Amino acid sequence: MKYSISGIIIGLVSLLSSVSAGEWIRINQLGYLPESPKVAVFMSEGKAAVEEYVLVEVFTGEIVKWFDNPKKANTWGRMQSVYRLDFSDFKTEGTYVLRVGETMSPRFVIGNRVYDGTADFILRYMRQQRCGFNPFEQDSCHIHDGYIVYHPTRNGERIDVRGGWHDASDQLQYVTTSANATYQMMFAYLKNPEVYGDAYDAYGLPGANGIPDIVDEIKWGLDWLNRMNPSKGEMYNQIADDRDHKGFKLPSQDHIDYGWGKGTGRPVYYCSGKPQARGEFSNATTGVASTAGKYASCFALGAEILKDFYPDMADTLLVKAREAYWHGANNPGVCQTASVVSPYIYEECNWTDDMELAAVQLYVSTGETSFLQEAVKYGRFEPVTPWMGADSARHYQWYPFINLGHYHLASVSDSRISKEFGRNLRSGIERVYERAQGNPFLNGIPAIWCSNNLTVAMATQCRLYRELTGDNRYREMESSLIDWLFGCNPWGTSMITELPLWGDYPVDPHTPLIALGVGTTVGGLVDGPVYSSIFDSLRGVRLTRRDPYARFQSEIVYHDDIQDYSTNEPTMDGTASLSYLLSSLQKEGMKSRGLDRNEYAYGGIVRTDAEKKQISLVFTAADKSDGARHILEVLGKCDVKGSFFFTGEFYERFPETIQTLYNAGHYVGAHGDAHLLYCAWENRDSTLVSQAQFEQDMLDVYARMRKSGIDVSRSNLFIPPYEYYNEKISAWARGLGLRLVNFTPGTWTNADYTTPDMKNYRSSESIYDRVMEVEKRNGLNGHIMLFHLGTDDKRTDKFYERYLERLIRALQRKGYTFVALPEAVGK
């Protein structure tokens, strides 16, 4: 079949993926930054010759760009025809679909906000994984940890090693992965501190504490590492072992008996520097340096991160960083994890990369050149992380998957050293790039356990190398790896649970939360696809349901199934390793629009910049317009621009009012089409509409707006019907390229519609008095004040008639300026 789109007229398109039989277009469901590379992948089970493809604007149904440059790619599994569809040169913000013949991609957004909030979002999973006090359960677990094993003189002694994170869907804890996760988060915060918010306290519970949430999580990790290294030369590597694997259980319900009674303490493994075996299997430990190096790098960078928040702890950590480094130098070799009943361990085989990172981080922290020399020495042992370019590796054999020590050395002022280690970074990238040339998704990552972690590592290395050198030759691969994680892959799924919430993502991950029906691993990065030979060799795995991705499987497989722990188990360290990428992508978007100073509730904007003495007036209406003339007169007299949000019925019934407002320069936007109640009054989390219903409702109202002469490309602000919504509605709106906005609570202005027979009735005088009381007590900076354009006849006390002008004048005299909502919320 040959595809040429010439002459096709495209009407209003569905927002859901529409496909011809056996054809799909894979995209990054989260969206694309305007300046980033943008490449989708078309796949067909049959023979298809693609000559052209088009980009269609969702709300108008119009073709905005034609392309005639499809690039034929290698086949994949059953897919006989695969093309890469490059639309990188299109940079206009909006919501779109790609179309090849009759096949359409899922809708996606191009905009500078597509990555907003993602770096904070993955912290949800980190909080879920907390050991000690677990905020998800709001209960404590493993409070008796632990009892020392493998120590030459202290076996059986109890030591306080509470805290940290559970490694994955089990409750084991490893310094190997926890230290790397802590460092990755610190590195992200060091590079991009401005993107992180403060919505949780130190215990991971809702409520700001004046400290960025990522720093709270970093502190949680550092506290645990500090306990696991209680004194000079005394290091522990692991808590519990695979005797844990006795069915799904919540952390607070862990009653495994390791020899000290059910649930009354777990073994904590001392770093003995020798092989350890507590059953049939033995690890291949040769020293302590791999663990000691991780401690040292975390403590050194932790001292820098915490100095403004916990200065005493920061001082302690810097001392311990030196001690840990020299302990590693004196005990070279790798310290592997231990198992008892199965052969699965983290088979880390390299350790000089850990010592390199520790040394260069100490150099950065102290300025002592001896540490720089040490770092160069260790860095030359392993110029390229060995998995890069390989087609296989044992589980975590070459770990961490990215050597950030190379990046730090490539950043030093000594040009000889920086060039050498810059070349090392490029060499690793080049090896993966060469493998990627045969892959239709430009992905050269070996499909081994935790392949997604390797994908994140390579995308990170590409970005760091590009920022260091300005060399863009690998930028398409960098973007392709990121796109892979968000759905531009054979299966068309994001690899991060509920990110994006409007897309296809893991709904059945390997986790006790799903198995026990208490939730899911929100924000967790799953392991990712593996070679079918790996999956086929797993012990005791049988899929629980028909595979929805069966048509896309090949010699590489991915299953969204709770039983597949090789591809669909979220990992703590993999999730944390996303921190730098996501925060950098958000920061990139911020460069063109500035810092987001809005305040949010349930994902919607409820206040603009609280540092500015500005107020925004907004008006909503479903079927009444009795106040339109008077409100328009008042706004004109006071020289104020308002923002108006209407239902589809209002657009149909009052076209003259719409035109008058629009022509006067006021913002005119959407309030839903059918004025649907999106979520239950008695339970906000209970969503009453489907995603398809919501999206169609928004399509319908935007069609009416367009018919009314509104430029919908400039109308992306949206106030939900009844001013009531939840996080799911906010996410669905964001998936359409819309920004959900609501009133700032507390002033009662939204009660101007109430009638005397209602329990929540507020008179106009009481509303006015309340606004002035709030202003006197707390100020009204950044407030969004919502009124109604019309009210029921039973309300004879119309606020707009008696008090609107009085209120505006009074607040203007107090120095407030009234700013139209689009300007107040920012780009």
Q: What is the pLDDT of residues 63-78, one digit of tens each?
A: 999 999 999 999 999 9
Contact between 408 and 416 under an 8 Å Cβ cutoff? The reply is no
pLDDT band at 540 (very low <50, low <70, confident <90, very high): confident
User: What's residue 21's pLDDT?
Assistant: 58
Say how far apart CA 398 and CA 604 lie, in whole Å. 43
Instruction: Give CA–CA dist 543/65, Å, rounded.
Output: 43
Structure token digits, residue 347? 């088979």
Q: Which two tokens stand for residue 657?
A: 């009012």
For the chain, the domains span 2-110, 118-590, 597-825
- How is 446-494 classified by DSSP, letter by letter? --STTHHHHHHHHHHHHHHHHHHH---TTHHHHHHHHHHHBT-STT--B
Whether residue 152 has a cis bond before it, omega within 30° of 0? no
Range list of H helices, 654-710: 655-663, 691-707
Is beta strand 53-57 parallel, antiparallel or unpaired with respect to 103-104?
unpaired
249 Cβ contact list (under 8 Å, min separation 6): 171, 255, 512, 516
Q: At residue 9, does pLDDT exceed 50?
A: no
Tell whether the torsion through CA atoms of 557, 558, 559 and 565 is positive or negative: positive
DSSP state of 330: H
Cα→Cα distances 642→13, 634, 682, 728, 774, Å: 31, 11, 32, 28, 21
Confidence of residue 639 (pLDDT cuts 50, 70, 90): very high
**According to the CATH classification, is domain 118-590 in 1.10.760.10?**
no
Rg of the Cα atoms in the chain? 29
What's the confidence (pLDDT) of residue 664?
Answer: 95
Collapsing DSSP to helix, strand or coil, 140 comes out as: strand
pLDDT of res. 602? 95
Give the tens place of pLDDT for each residue, 654-677: 999 999 999 999 999 999 999 999
pLDDT at 396 over 90: yes
Please give the structure tokens belonging to residue 601.
């509730």
70 touches 51 (CB < 8 A): yes
Question: What share of the chain has pLDDT > 70, as a percent?
Answer: 97
- Neighbouring C-beta atoms of residue 259, cutoff 10 Å: 12
CA atoms of 712 and 733, how far apart (whole Å): 15
Task: Write out the two tokens for 527.
Answer: 């392991």
pLDDT attached to residue 16: 39
Check residue 17 and give its pLDDT. Answer: 41
Closest CA relative to residue 659, chosen from 628, 614, 619:
628
Q: What is the mean pLDDT of residues 617-646?
A: 96
Given this model, what pLDDT does residue 15 score? 37
Q: What is the pLDDT of residue 544?
A: 92
Q: CA-CA distance, 712 to 705, in Å (whole number)?
A: 7
Between CA 623 and CA 168 the distance in angstroms is 52
- The CATH architecture assigned to 2-110 reads Sandwich (2.60)
Question: Residue 133: in which H helix or E strand, if any?
Answer: strand 133-134
The two three-digit tokens of residue 216, written as one number? 């709270």
Q: Pseudo-torsion of CA 72, 75, 76, 78, nearest 10°?
A: 120
pTM above 0.85, yes or no: yes
d(CA 115, CA 155): 49
CATH number listed for the domain at residues 597-825: 3.20.20.370
Q: Is the pLDDT of residue 746 over 70?
A: yes
Check residue 541 and give its pLDDT.
82
314-362 pLDDT, tens digit per residue, is: 999 999 999 999 999 999 999 999 998 887 789 999 999 999 999 999 9
- Beta carbons of 266 and 240 less than 8 angstroms apart: yes
Per the model's pLDDT, the better-predicted residue between 540 and 39 turns out to be 39
Which of 161, 353, 131, 342 has its CA nearest to residue 269? 161
Angle 801-805-809 from CA coordinates, rounded to 5°: 160
| pLDDT at residue 280 in the model | 74
Reference 491, options 14, 16, 24, 80; nearest CA is: 24
- Coil, strand or helix at 239: strand
Alpha-carbon distance of 132 to 178, in angstroms, equals 15
Q: How far apart are CA 179 and CA 317, in angstroms?
A: 14
Asked if the model's pLDDT at residue 538 lies above 90, the reply is no
Task: Count the neighbouring beta carbons within 10 Å of the beta carbon of residue 795.
Answer: 20
C-alpha of 4 from chain center: 37
11-20, 182-191, 201-210, 769-778: lowest mean pLDDT where? 11-20
**What pLDDT score does 3 carry?**
53
Split at pLDDT 50, 70, 90, the class of 2 is low
pLDDT for the residue 286: 97
pLDDT of amino acid 19: 46
Task: For residue range 280-289, list pLDDT tens digits in order.
Answer: 778 999 999 9
**Spatial distance between the Cα atoms of 751 and 771, rounded to a whole number of angstroms:** 12
Please give the mean pLDDT across all residues of the chain: 94
